[in-house]
Every structure is written in C-alpha cells, then in structure tokens.
C-alpha cells in the first residue's frame, strides 16, 4: 500500500511541476499536428478483407493503433480493448475475462470473433476465446480493428456481434533489438527480448521474441489474497519476404505455456451448498501461419493463407485438446470503372476431444469437423459520393449444414468532404460448439432430505440449431473541425434460436444417498431484441493535449418461446451492461515526458448484483535519448479492490486490485 501511495503521489506531482517548466521545453510530438484528417484516413482491412479509408467505411469501426497501446499503460490485450466503445471488458480473475460486444457477455462469449493476423482464435469446443492464450508482445501490434456489428459475410461463423482483428507489424518495421523489463505490486515480473533484422537478400526480414511474466494473486471476497496466480512463457517469430515485385510471403509462428491457479466449484451453477477446491490450470499450444500475396498482370490481387493451430488445456479435469487446420483463398479485382469485387474460398478442419473418464465429458470423446465456405462481395460506386456494398457468404458446417450470411451497406461521402453517413443490414450466425451438442457436465448437487440429493446435469443436443441475428445499423462519422472529430453508430438487432436449458423428466437413481437426477438439455427456444448506440470523440484540446471520450448504450429484451420450460443461457443481469463510458487524456509534458490518464466506467447491470464500477489508470513516462523509455503505471487506482464480473461457470471470481508497476524499454 505504501508503494501505491508513493506512486500516486509521484504521478500527481509530476504534472504541475512539469507544466511549470514547459516554456523551456517544446513537446517532441505536437498532438495538435497529429491531424484528425490523418486519423480519418487510416486504412482498415477487417470490414471487407481489402484496404478502405476509415472515413468511407460503412461499418462501426474503432481502431486502436500502436501509440494508443503504448500510452494506455496496459499490460494485456483485454486491458487494451477497454478503450473501444461498445466493448464490454470484465475481469473474472487474474487470468480470465468476460469480453463481448453489444451484449451477451460471459466468460465464453460466443458471438464475437477474434483474429490474429487472419487466424481465428475462437475455440469450437466450448465457444468463445481463452483470453489467457492470447498474450503477445504489445510492442509488436500494429493496430487492433474493432468492428461492432455482424461481420459474417466476410469472416463467417461466430462473427455475430462483432470482430476483433489484431494485426501485427511486418518484420521490416521491427529491425534491431528491444529489451523490456519491469515489475510491481501485482505484475511481479515482466521480461521480453525481441530482435529483428534482414534475412538473406535485402528483400527479406525477420524477428524473433521471447516473453515471460508472473502475475500475482488478486483479492478474495474478504480482501485476502485469492488463489489466481498466473505465469506465462511465450516465444515466436515472423519473417516477411518480397520474392518478386508481384509476390510476397509471410511466415510466422508462436509457442506458449501457461500455469495458472484458480478456485473451482464442483458444478457450473451456484448453490448455497457449494464446496470450493483450489486447483491449477495448465495450457500449452502453438501455431504456424503462412500467407502468399500475388499481384496479377492486370492489377488484381490474390492471397492464399494457411495455418495450423493447436493447444492442450486442463481446467475442468479432463484435458481438452484442439487441432485446427485452415486454408483460405481470396481474390480482389476491379470489374470495370464502378465495381470492386472481393471473393474467396475457405476450408477448415477441427479435431477436438476431452479425455474420457471424468465428470465433464463429450460423447463421443473426440471428433473431427469440417467447415467449407465461399463468399462474394461487390462494392459498387453509384456516384462520386455514394457507394453500395452487397455481399453473401455460404458456409457448410457439421452441425447445422448450410448457413447463409448476407449483408448490404450504403455509404455517402463527398470527394474531399468531412462527413460520412452510412447504413447497413446484415445477417450472421453462431454455429453450435461441441459443448452445445455433445457435452455431459455437472451443474449442481443439492441436498433434498436426510438421505436424498437432487443432481442437475447439463446435456448437449445433437439437433442444436445455429443462433442467428438480423441487424440494422446507421452511422455518422465526421471531422467537425480540425480539432474535433466524432463517430456515431446506432443499431437494432433481432436474435432467434438463442440457447436455453430445458429440464427433462426426472430419473430416480437408487442408492445411498438416493439421487433425483434432473437433466437440462440444450435447446434453442429463446429470442432477443437489442437496440442502442455508441459515440466516440477525438478532441485536440491543445498542442500538447488530446482527449478521447466514448459512450455506449445498450437495451436488451430476452424472451423465451411459449414452449420453453427452462432458462436462457444468457441473462440481462450479467451479460448486458446498459451504460458504459470511457475517457482517455494524453498529455505531452515536455520533449521527453508523457502523462496519460484513462477512466472507464460500467454502470450496474439491470437486476444484477455487481455494482457499477469505475477504473482509473495513470501512466507517467520519461524518455532518455532515442533508445530508452522508463514508465510507471498505476491501474485500478480508485479503490483497493473491485468486483468486475463475479463467478463464471465453475470458476470463482476474484476482485481486481489496485496495482502499480514500472517498466523500462531499451531499443538497440
């Protein structure tokens, strides 16, 4: 606690002391000269699988660039994502998060697709993302494109409420060495080494890296140290080659090993009779990706990408193993003066399994599934100001067969104008996971008498349907003045075939104690309607000061079909924050010093037990020459500990704690 108070005092004192001497020191970067026009001119690729100017993009897109990441002080990708409006980031324990876009948030949020350089990290076993698998050197990220709203036409299954696309830097941009070391009150140790250079001829480049961190326990409900220690080792490489003036090749790969602690209940549901067990989670995995880009003689471009991904994870007893191979081809061409076409083919095969003999089981224990896809998208320039984009994706999966995911988008932006108005209508689907069709898992064991217990179990349904969305959006994006820009998006979404758990007739199992077995079977007997919007601003308040606020509103109504006798898998009380707000302030104190502040607020969920909570992060940094930077970061500074989400399935939630860490970065 003394360290925390000292650090906050240093941060508070640094601001007035440095401003007092500002007449003698001009900032190294004039924030007012970081033109908002340049920000609007950022190229994004995740909306249509081709480069587009952000200003003309007919989608709700928020871009987090490398400077945003560096100045956020974040130590993890989930903390970086807090700055994007409409993205709900809630920490469960030191290594687990619930992250979603526009609702349906829980630990395994199954309606957001997450990509790293075009490689999907969505797990087909339990749905959602293991965020503890995703850590990477934040310095290697070029940008993160956050798309709010369906992206199924381009990216396919599970891009229902949004897409988070993490794009890393080319190795040509990371030559030389980078050494990072740090530690603090909860981030006990951080070490990272990266080196890059030219490979073979001048046309090739490479980088290799190794990273390790040790994150200490958060807080339990009574304020004592929790049992959620997390250690991770991670190493990887990337190489980029300009083979000819028409051909380029990228090859990259990663290996990681996690060791985590957690506290678990025996079932997935909360009861007053729960007993908790401290346990360890081990996860190891790796991937390799290759992408070949080729420009044809007529100027059209093709891309062929292949990757292999695997992990092994132990959490609920049985080891979970997943192996994925993916092959993707796309072709981008101009057809006449008005049509810009992107089309592609895809094939993915997943082999997944849980070792038999445990209480959590899949039937069959292992299986191999294939996914076939084809998509076509045409951008039609109706006039100098109007563009119309129509697209369709066809996918065939092993659970529900053929799924169609169409979209239509219209944008208006006059040449040289500062205003863009856009509208979109889309359909997307979340295909079932193995947990939906094949699982058998304990939910709860409840004493029902002196020698009788009621046992609840979850059963999968081989006839599970795909959850579907029909979504309508309208947005406005503008550089209002040279110092102020705004981005607004509104949406209305209709969901059908949402997951419910339906009780089956009870089964009496004789013995001591007598068991009354009630099985809850996965069904698709719910619907929902969501509406809301997000707004984000960029304001160059002064030559040294930029302010970036954001706000999102979400209203949701869940309804069960008349035939449903069970409960929905999502609840308003945990998955749909109605109001979230964030504001970031970036200040250049002098040529060598920066002071950055980030405030995040999530209102109490309707009917929920988690109170509204705010988080304040501060960062103070000092550069020494061109090669060294020293920074001190305070996170979650408003109170000693905060509950953000609570329990998640069988995992006992902990409280995020106030923390401070220091970091030094040396480039050589």
Query: 18-32, 37-51, 564-578: which has the highest mean pLDDT?
Result: 564-578
Check whether the bond before 513 is cis (ω within 30° of 0): yes
Q: What DSSP character marks residue 645?
A: S
Which H or E run includes 67?
Answer: helix 66-72
Helices then strands, counting H and E runs in the chain, come out as 7, 38
CA separation for the pair 491, 616 (Å, rounded): 29
Instruction: Give residue-wise pLDDT tens across range 439-456.
Output: 999 988 888 888 999 999
CA 570 to chain centre: 19
Closest CA to 177 of 592, 626, 627: 627
Residue 659 · residue 184 · CB < 8 Å = yes
Query: Looking at the predicted structure, is the pLDDT value of residue 10 above 70?
Result: no
Q: What DSSP character marks residue 6?
A: H
Q: What backbone torsions phi and psi does residue 526 show, to the nearest 5 degrees?
A: -135, 160
Query: Looking at the predicted structure, is the pLDDT value of residue 12 above 80?
Result: no
Contacts of 103 (CB under 8 A, 6+ apart): 88, 161, 530, 554, 556, 570, 575, 576, 577
pLDDT, mean over the chain: 90
Least-confidence region, from 10-14, 42-46, 503-507, 578-582:
10-14
What does the pLDDT read at residue 2? 40
Which H or E run includes 153?
Answer: helix 152-155
Percent of the chain at pLDDT exceeding 90: 77
54 sits in the region (left: phi over 0; alpha: psi -120 to 50; else beta) called alpha
Q: What DSSP character marks residue 219?
A: B
What does the pLDDT read at residue 336? 86
Classified as helix, coil or strand, 278 is strand
Q: What DSSP character marks residue 365?
A: S
Residues 509-535: what's their mean pLDDT?
A: 94
Residues 100-110: what's their mean pLDDT?
A: 94
The pLDDT confidence band at residue 109, using thresholds 50, 70 and 90, is very high
Instruction: Give residue-wise pLDDT tens across range 291-301.
Output: 999 999 888 99
Query: Looking at the predicted structure, is the pLDDT value of residue 413 above 80?
Result: yes
Q: Is 336 exposed, middle or buried (0-12, 13-18, 19+ CB in 10 A)?
A: exposed
CA separation for the pair 568, 67 (Å, rounded): 41
Instruction: Give residue-wise pLDDT tens across range 198-257.
Output: 987 668 999 999 999 999 999 998 899 999 999 999 999 999 999 999 999 999 999 999
Residues 424-447: what's their mean pLDDT?
A: 93
Least-confidence region, from 256-270, 377-391, 591-605, 627-641:
256-270
CA separation for the pair 495, 43 (Å, rounded): 31
Residues 10-14: what's their mean pLDDT?
A: 39
Count of residues making up the chain? 668
Residues 305-333: what's their mean pLDDT?
A: 94
CA separation for the pair 637, 295 (Å, rounded): 51
What does the pLDDT read at residue 49? 78
Contacts of 32 (CB under 8 A, 6+ apart): 483, 540, 542, 543
Which H or E run includes 81?
Answer: helix 77-81
């Amino acid at each position: 606690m003394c360290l925390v108070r000292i650090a906050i005092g240093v941060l508070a004192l640094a601001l007035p002391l440095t401003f007092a001497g500002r007449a003698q020191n001009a900032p190294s970067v004039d924030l007012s000269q970081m033109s908002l026009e340049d920000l609007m001119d950022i190229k994004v690729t995740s909306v249509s699988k081709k480069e587009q100017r952000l200003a003309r993009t007919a989608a709700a897109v928020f871009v987090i660039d490398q400077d945003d990441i560096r100045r956020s002080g974040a130590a993890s990708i989930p903390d970086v994502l807090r700055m994007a409006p409409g993205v709900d980031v809630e920490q469960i324990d030191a290594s687990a998060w619930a992250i979603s876009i526009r609702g349906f948030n829980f630990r395994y949020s199954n309606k957001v697709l997450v990509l790293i350089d075009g490689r999907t990290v969505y797990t087909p076993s339990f749905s959602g993302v293991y965020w503890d698998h995703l850590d990477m050197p934040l310095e290697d990220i070029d940008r993160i494109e956050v798309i709010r709203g369906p992206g199924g036409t381009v990216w396919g299954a599970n891009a229902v409420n949004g897409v988070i696309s993490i794009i890393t830097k080319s190795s040509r941009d990371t030559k030389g060495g980078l050494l990072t070391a740090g530690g603090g009150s909860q981030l006990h140790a951080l070490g990272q080494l990266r080196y890059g250079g030219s490979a073979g001829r001048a046309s090739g480049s490479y980088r290799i890296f190794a990273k390790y961190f040790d994150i200490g326990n958060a807080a339990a409900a009574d304020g004592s140290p929790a049992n959620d220690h997390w250690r991770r080792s991670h190493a990887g490489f990337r190489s980029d080659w300009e083979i000819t003036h028409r051909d380029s090749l990228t090859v990259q790969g990663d290996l990681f090993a996690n060791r985590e602690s957690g506290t678990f209940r025996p079932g997935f549901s909360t009861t007053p009779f729960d007993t908790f067990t401290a346990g360890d989670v081990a996860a190891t995995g790796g991937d390799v990706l290759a992408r070949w880009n080729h420009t044809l003689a007529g100027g059209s471009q093709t891309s062929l990408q292949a990757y292999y991904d695997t992990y092994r994870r132990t959490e609920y007893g049985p080891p979970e193993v997943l192996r994925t191979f993916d092959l993707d081809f796309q072709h981008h061409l101009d057809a006449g003066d008005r049509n810009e076409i992107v089309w592609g083919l895809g094939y993915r095969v997943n082999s997944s399994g849980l070792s038999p003999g445990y209480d959590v089981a899949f039937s069959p224990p292992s299986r191999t599934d294939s996914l076939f896809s084809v998509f076509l998208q045409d951008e039609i320039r109706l006039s100098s100001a109007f563009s119309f984009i129509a697209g369709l994706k066809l996918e065939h999966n092993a659970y529900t067969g053929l799924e169609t995911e169409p979209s239509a988008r219209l944008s208006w932006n006059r040449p040289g104008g500062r205003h863009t108005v856009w509208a979109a209508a889309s359909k997307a689907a979340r295909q079932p996971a193995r947990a939906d069709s094949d699982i058998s898992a304990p939910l709860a064991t409840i004493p029902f008498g002196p020698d009788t217990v009621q046992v609840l179990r979850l059963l999968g349904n081989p006839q599970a349907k795909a959850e579907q969305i029909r979504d309508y959006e309208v947005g406005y994006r503008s550089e209002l003045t040279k110092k102020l820009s705004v981005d607004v998006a509104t949406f209305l979404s209709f969901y059908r075939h949402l997951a419910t758990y339906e009780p089956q007739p009870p089964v009496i199992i004789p013995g001591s104690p007598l068991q009354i077995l009630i099985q809850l079977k996965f069904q698709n007997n719910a619907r929902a309607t969501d509406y809301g919007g997000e707004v984000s601003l960029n304001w160059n308040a002064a030559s040294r000061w930029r302010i970036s606020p954001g706000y999102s509103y979400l209203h949701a109504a869940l309804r069960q079909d008349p035939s449903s006798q069970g409960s929905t898998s999502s609840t308003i009380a945990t998955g749909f924050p109605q109001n979230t707000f964030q504001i970031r302030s970036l200040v250049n104190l002098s040529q060598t010093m920066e002071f950055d502040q980030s405030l995040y607020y999530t209102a109490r969920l309707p009917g929920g037990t988690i109170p509204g909570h705010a988080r304040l992060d501060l960062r103070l940094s000092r550069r020494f020459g061109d090669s060294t930077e020293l920074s001190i970061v305070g996170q979650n500074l408003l109170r000693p500990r905060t509950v953000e989400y609570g329990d998640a399935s069988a995992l006992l939630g902990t409280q995020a704690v106030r923390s401070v860490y220091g970091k030094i970065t040396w480039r050589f």
